[in-house]
Amino acid sequence: MGVDKCINVAKILFSGIGVSLKIFILTLIFAIPLGIIVALARNSKCKILSGITKLYILIIRGTPIMLQIIFVYFAPYYLFRLTYDRFIAIIVAFVINYAAYFSEIFRSGINSISVGQKEAAFTLGFSKVQTFILIILPQVVKIILPSISNEIISLLKSTSLAQIIGVTEMFALAQKQASYNFSVVPLCIAGGYYLILVFFVSVLFNKAEKKLEYYN
Domains of the chain: 3-215 (1.10.3720.10)
3-class secondary-structure state, position 44: coil
Mean pLDDT per 10-residue run, the chain (216 residues)? 80 91 96 94 92 96 95 93 92 97 91 77 77 80 87 94 91 89 89 94 88 62
pLDDT of residue 110: 83
> Which pTM does this prediction carry?
0.89
